Amino acid sequence: MKELVQAALDKIRPALQTDGGDVELVELDGNVVKVRLQGACKGCPMAQQTLKNGIEKFLIKEVPNVERVEAVS
């Protein structure tokens, strides 16, 4: 599952990098993906919306069994 999650993050990464941000896979905790937002995403007021409506929605669609995505610092 980790490889599938990483591949999905690699697909969404260019959109984040366009705005000066990035995302790093930290760990999988069961069906929960833990990521670290980087660059412009780290301090952006829209980071939570990007996480839930962008990254989480995409990962749930792309990777079977992903239930949610959480940001860690």
Range of the domain at 56: 2-71
Query: Buried b / exposed e across 24-40, counting CB within 10 Å, b at 16+?
Result: eeeeeeeeebebebeee
How many residues are present in the chain?
A: 73
Which CATH number belongs to the domain containing residue 59 in this structure? Answer: 3.30.300.130
> How do the pLDDT tens digits run along the chain, 73 residues long?
999 999 999 999 999 999 899 999 999 999 999 999 999 988 888 899 999 999 999 999 999 899 999 999 8
Number of domains in the chain: 1
